[in-house]
Structure 1
Amino acid sequence: MKKIILLSFLAIICSTTGCKKFLDKVPSSFVAPENYFNNEKEVNTALNGVYDILSREQTFGGQLPIRHAVSTDESFFSYASFPTGPFYYNFGADDATIRDLWRYLYDGIERANVLLANLDKANMDEGKKSVVKGETLFLRAFYYFILVQNWGGVPLKLTPTTSINNVNIPRNSVKEVYDQILKDMVEAEGLVKKISDIGFGGRVSKSAVRGILARVCLNMAGYPLNDVAKFKDAATWAAKVNEYGEHALNPDYSQVFINLCKDQYDIKESIFEAELYGSNSDAFREGGRIGNENGVKCSASTDLIPTVGFAYGFVSTTRKLYTSYEYNATDASKRDLRRDWAIATYTLNASGVKANIAATNIYARNCAKWRREYEVVTPKNKNYTSTNFQILRYADVLLMLAEAENEVNNGPNATAVNALNEVRRRGYGKLLAGATNPANADYPGAISLSKAAFLKVIQDERARELCFEGLRKSDLIRWGIFVNTMQATATEFTTYAAMTTTIYKNARDAAQRVTATHLLYPIPILEMSLNKAMVQNEGY
């Protein structure tokens, strides 16, 4: 059972308004804000409404890590029935997937603004009120972070909408948006609780704020701002994540994802999660698509779905990712165990029986991190699961620390190398009970590498460790190598994949289609039509 059950009553406070302008929603409901926010219960209901955006199917409940982030050098969209979309880099300002992401992020911002504007009047413990303020500030900033990553400069809206007549809101610059993100998150860090006091990853904790601040600063240090001073801040925030000794890698890489499927929390590794609940067949309807769209392909017949589940296999590996793992068939000490958990070795047929994939058939291998066989909510829904999505985990923090330290010190230091090798040791099974010779998993000669060479090591290690978790595209963009990398990926498909197979041809075409225009999304056409102060991104 999840710790947060997101209440449908939140719509009373922060309802959407259909086709009205996304940025300028006036809550239309039976309960006006001035008559609400009177006590702790009402405040917590409204706060749950701000959190609710994280778990929507259009955000981390499905589309953000899957349809928005799937086509990179580590994965491709392996479903032929959708002809256009961000997963094929074939879209315009009228794309529904892009429009919905914009809409829900601004819904979350409006909900946060309404709560922040009314929080002071609530009759509740001041300490609890401060925690709510911190969580809300962070969530608002986090939604802006996703917006600025995908659209560049966007309108900064920091107060609730009071009139639908004020619709012309100009875009702020990328720097202005990032400055506000930093301001809100830094304030939030001093207000929220430690994760050990919360006990699960579904709430904003100091660890979550610090880890995401490291991510924000790394993005600011890279393209398009290229504010290299932020590398030092990224290193500081990443190091502070474990100030209280609350975090460590789960010794078993596979268990990280089994825990998610089983609705089990592990706050040592899993720092911040988007909460999903139930099978979407109940009154809450808070199920998501994790494991369904991006799981091991399962074609179970209708009568078996309630027990076996169903998965479309929308996300598959590239050859580059698969072959990047060291895997010596005869020498177990040279075997990266992450490969055969992250990348499927089998599919399930209509009878729910596993069928092994031929060793040479790399492109037929789906993402396998989230497996429906471990789900505990039954009967299983064909299209929805209760599996949480990890927005931030400790392995990511370690790799961010290694990257930032490398930049600050003009090459790897002991902190950077130790952080990298801690992740690698877990990948090779060296943190498991009874494991021997842990140093055998360390990257050879890492301390002697140049800054550029060590960065390449980190780039490759992030792919091996964090593949399919929705981070690769933004990583490639901030490193300034997105377009060239995608062109190289197109060449890979041409060289190694059968172009007579539709999904492989589509993947090749998608990668080949990428230009500098695709560094950003277009402003949705509806927003452009209503907001006369809005300027469209170049190329759309």
Structure 2
Amino acid sequence: MKTTIKYIVLPLCILLITAEGCKKDFLEQSPEATIVGQNFFKTETDIKQAVNGAYSSLNGLGNTSYWLFGEMRSDNTSYQYNATDRGQEQREFVDEFLSSATAPPIQTYWSLTYTAISRCNDVLDHLDAITMTATAKAQYSGEAKFLRAWHYFNLVQQFGGVPLRITAVQSPSDSKSAGRAAVADVYTQIVADLTSASTSLPASYTGADLGRATKGAAFALLGKVYLTQKKFAEALTALRQVTGYSLLPSYASVFDPSNKNNAESVFEIQYLGTKPELASNFLYQFAPWTSGSAVTGDPGTNLGSGNGWNIPTQDMLNAYEAGDARKDVSLGTGFIGSDGKFVNVPYVKKYNHGFVDRNRTNDDFPILRYSDVLLMMAEALNEQGFTAGGEAFTLLNRVRTRAALPDKSAGNANPLLAVNDQAAFRAAVLQERRVELAFENQRWYDLVRSGTAVTVMTAHGQREMQQFSNIPAGSYVVTANKLLLPLPQRDVTLDNLTQNPQ
């Protein structure tokens, strides 16, 4: 098993009280309201520790916020209603497009993301003053800029224009932002960060550094950013720079915790099940709350409002073609109850590899994979012009071949495999991305980027309301305004921000 990166959370200050501390120095402390970064950032080791702290922000976001807003807002997943435990009703509202500006999940997502950005800014603001090799300095700068770009990319897609903070906050007087930046300005900063990162990050790592951002990760994310902006030529140029990766022969082995940071992994959130603060818990959160230990395999499982999330929808189950090898790896169609009978409640299997200890698992979470890169390249090529039998088809079918599915082609005698024009290829790529990247928090962003979110989610909502009686009135009223989340009301008030129309 490859060694995963060990993340260390950066302390804001370290107070050492010794016998000498009882003298004059004890009375000459810096104000607690001021972050005195200069007292911490003195050596290269301090910088690396700070970078590790920036990575650690991904762990908390990955355990809930990323899938809640990237997957459950889509037609891929929903939740298992729990009438006896209503402790997580606000998560249900996210799925049903009922979230308000005061919703705790939105506030949490926003706050954690800006905390993560602040950690990146701390690194970048102090980097130049520390003595180290030019290579090391370039790497740490690239890592911080990659992570900052990733966070801003999530924010701008979910909220639109957001406050653009690119320097560290040194005191309370710095905490107020300049207001919401224009969407174009946020993207300009993202592109600048990723362009810089792509020139300074190494192509690969070894040993304990496996899992850090690489040159390939920066180019892959840059390609996705350009694709989202519909800059297809620029996207293709960036994506062609993602080299040194390959599809694994087995789809299942991509997600195996014993095979972390494999040849297909471009970037993944690193979790370590042996340490409580670094462990993942998707196995538990995605298990139906009525499943006992049937899904988790943990005889001590105590399931309630923290379980039954990200449940695959009937729409998702229907999305797989017959014979698709990815379906059984990605989801279970149900489980055997305590009475020995099959219970028809699906669940995500992709991160189900057992537990290390109660509520702690060792599964990483994929952010960028090489199959994602191939499908983005196919999309970019098609958007520049449809070519029957061209490179876009080759890329699409490479992903399908691994899934044990036949090729799609122009003029195919099988109408289910025929892709005869640009619009049909666009739909084929969107469909392939859905099943290849299922439960990897890509679907919502794909729907919005493709301009199909309102239509798809309105139809999906109608089917959900017909299937389930617990869904509140007014759910799934999906409009163009609803494609953006409301900004958290606390920050709107304190920072004098303009709210998104709902």
TM-score normalised per structure 2: 0.86
- Which residue does the alignment assign to 2:352? 371
Runs of 4+ in 1 over 3 A off after TM superposition: 8-13, 26-31, 79-82, 196-201, 295-298, 306-311, 348-351, 410-413
Per-residue Cα deviation, 1:153-182 (whole angstroms, up to 9, x for no partner)? 111111112332342521111011001100
- Which residue does the alignment assign to 2:270? 275
1:326 to 321, 330, 338: 321
- Which residue does the alignment assign to 2:383? 407
Q: How does 1:454-473 map to 2 (within 5 A)?
A: 454-473=425-444
**What is the Cα deviation at residue 30 of structure 1?**
9.8
What SS is found at the alignment partner of 2:240? helix
- Which residue does the alignment assign to 1:443? 408
Cα pair 1:210 1:241 within 8 Å, conserved: yes
The 3 A distance-change label for structure 1 pair 494 and 29 is closer
2:397 to 403, 421, 427: 421
Per-residue Cα deviation, 1:367-399 (whole angstroms, up to 9, x for no partner)? 2211143x4x2xx223x4232111011111111
Cα pair 2:312 2:331 within 8 Å, conserved: yes
- Which residue does the alignment assign to 1:4? 5
- Which residue does the alignment assign to 1:170? 179
Cα distance between partner residues in 2 of 1:305 and 1:90: 34
Percent identity reads 29
- Which residue does the alignment assign to 2:492? 528
Cα distance between partner residues in 1 of 2:269 and 2:286: 16
1:394 to 370, 374, 377: 370
2:286 to 283, 286, 294: 294
Q: How does 1:125-274 map to 2 (within 5 A)?
A: 125-166=133-174, 167-195=176-204, 202-221=211-230, 230-242=231-243, 246-257=244-255, 259-260=256-257, 262=258, 264-274=259-269
Cα pair 1:208 1:272 within 8 Å, conserved: yes
What SS is found at the alignment partner of 2:53? helix
- Which residue does the alignment assign to 1:77? 79
Correspondence 1:345 to 2:333: yes
The 3 A distance-change label for structure 1 pair 145 and 198 is farther
What SS is found at the alignment partner of 1:195? coil
Per-residue Cα deviation, 1:426-455 (whole angstroms, up to 9, x for no partner)? 111xxxxxxxxxxx6211437962111100
Cα distance between partner residues in 1 of 2:206 and 2:386: 38
Cα distance between partner residues in 2 of 1:122 and 1:178: 30
Cα distance between partner residues in 1 of 2:6 and 2:115: 19
Larger mean CA deviation between 457-466 and 337-346 belongs to 337-346
Cα pair 1:317 1:366 within 8 Å, conserved: yes
Cα pair 1:490 1:509 within 8 Å, conserved: no
Cα distance between partner residues in 1 of 2:338 and 2:347: 17
Aligned AA (1:477): V
The 3 A distance-change label for structure 1 pair 253 and 277 is same
The 3 A distance-change label for structure 1 pair 199 and 5 is closer
**What is the Cα deviation at residue 522 of structure 1?**
1.2
Cα pair 2:288 2:309 within 8 Å, conserved: no
Cα distance between partner residues in 1 of 2:324 and 2:288: 20
* Structure 2 residues without counterparts, runs of 5 or longer: 15-29, 411-416
Residue correspondences, number: 469
Cα distance between partner residues in 2 of 1:216 and 1:237: 10
Cα distance between partner residues in 2 of 1:47 and 1:536: 33
**What is the Cα deviation at residue 51 of structure 1?**
0.9
The 3 A distance-change label for structure 1 pair 412 and 213 is farther
Per-residue Cα deviation, 1:70-118 (whole angstroms, up to 9, x for no partner)? 1322222224333333223211111111111111111111111111111
Cα distance between partner residues in 1 of 2:229 and 2:237: 14
Larger mean CA deviation between 210-219 and 337-346 belongs to 337-346
**What is the Cα deviation at residue 129 of structure 1?**
1.1
- Which residue does the alignment assign to 1:332? none
What SS is found at the alignment partner of 1:454? helix
Aligned AA (2:312): T
Cα distance between partner residues in 2 of 1:91 and 1:197: 43
Root-mean-square deviation (CA, aligned residues, Å) is 2.9
What SS is found at the alignment partner of 2:4? coil
- Which residue does the alignment assign to 1:225? none
Cα pair 1:413 1:447 within 8 Å, conserved: no
Larger mean CA deviation between 265-274 and 410-419 belongs to 410-419
1:381 to 358, 374, 382: 358
Cα distance between partner residues in 1 of 2:137 and 2:179: 32
Q: How does 1:27-176 map to 2 (within 5 A)?
A: 32-56=36-60, 59-66=61-68, 68-80=70-82, 81=86, 82-84=88-90, 85-166=93-174, 167-176=176-185
